[in-house]
Amino acid sequence: MKKIMMIGYGAMAKEVLARLPEGVEAGWIVAREKHHAEIEAAFSGQVQALTHPDQCADQPDLVLECASQQAVAEFGEAIVKRGWWLAVISTGALADAALQLRLQQACVRHHGRLIVLSGAVAGMDGLASAREGGLDSVTYQSSKSPASWRGSQAEKLIDLDAVSEARVFFEGSAREAARMFPANANVAATIALHGLGMDATRVRLQVDPHTQRNTHRIQVCGQFGEFKIELCGNPLASNPKTSTLAALSAVQACRSLVDGGFIA
């Protein structure tokens, strides 16, 4: 039996835990102390609730971050310094160049591994392959419902209550998008990390009052040629800011522990 450590106990973490494949189980969940009683009850005491990964005396087969960019910044180094594998869904944290460098250096020195999950998009393997031949441009556009943008910086850039048609309210780099919209723009960071990097990847964010789905459009040009991807995903019912596919990418990483596949 493979055991994972989950970082976080919000909507996405609970979705992943409910879908863990056969042969994989949660051994530890790192969460705020106010969640510990709920965790103990949900898992009948079979899962240890922690406030920090360092409280774990054993070694998980995989540490799965499904919490926030803040959690990556707070716990990431401690995890990889123990030689553990850390799979990250909140990839926007790596828009902090200093944090990204520290994590990479810690992985080299301590034989840990940082895994960037594909999250809410597809085609990251092709994008990474295209990068080997040279990329000219990578453009990403995200289109979501007003509900998906509530509680974010979007509310300062556009009136979400008054918008009557699809409107782009942000254009900039992936680094800017990830920093300004930490709960919404992890996809921009994921694309950047597989492609041209945080500053050269161009991002447009759009609100569309006529949709309940999250639409991601990626256009890539390079020496290999050109490709376009459009993906229309359903948000989690429990959290409209979170993509169902993002949760499933974390589940797939867990499945690779038991089926011999690769963790991307």
pLDDT, tens only, 92-147 = 999 999 999 999 999 999 999 999 999 999 999 999 999 999 999 999 999 999 99
Average pLDDT of the chain? Answer: 95
Digitized pLDDT (tens) for each residue of the chain, 264 residues in all:
999 999 999 999 999 999 999 999 999 999 999 999 999 999 999 999 999 999 999 999 999 999 999 999 999 999 999 999 999 999 999 999 999 999 999 999 999 999 999 999 999 999 999 999 999 999 999 999 999 999 999 999 999 999 999 999 999 999 999 999 988 889 999 999 999 999 999 999 999 999 989 999 999 999 999 999 999 999 888 888 789 999 999 999 999 999 876 665
Q: What is the predicted pLDDT for the residue at 152? A: 93
Q: What is the predicted pLDDT for the residue at 23? A: 96
The catalytic site residues sit at: 216
- Could you tell me if 163 and 67 lie in one domain? no
| Tokens linked to 109 | 């020195």
- Could you tell me if 20 and 88 lie in one domain? yes
Q: What is the predicted pLDDT for the residue at 260? A: 76
**Given 3-state DSSP classes, what are the helix, strand and coil percentages for the chain, each rounded to the nearest 5?**
40, 30, 35
Q: What is the predicted pLDDT for the residue at 185? A: 84
The tally of domains found in the chain comes to 2
Strand order in the sheet with 2-7: 48-50, 24-30, 2-7, 62-65, 85-88, 113-116
- In angstroms, rounded to a whole number, what is the distance separating the alpha carbons of residues 202 and 215? 16
In a domain, residue 223? The reply is: yes
In a domain, residue 153? The reply is: yes
The model carries a pTM of 0.93
Q: What is the predicted pLDDT for the residue at 261? A: 66
Domain residues for 38?
Answer: 2-116+245-259
In a domain, residue 166? The reply is: yes
In a domain, residue 239? The reply is: no
What CATH code is carried by the domain that includes residue 227?
3.30.360.10
Residue % of the chain over a pLDDT of 70: 98
- Could you tell me if 199 and 94 lie in one domain? no
List, for residues 25-46, the tens digit of each pLDDT value. Answer: 999 999 999 999 999 999 999 9
- Could you tell me if 129 and 225 lie in one domain? yes
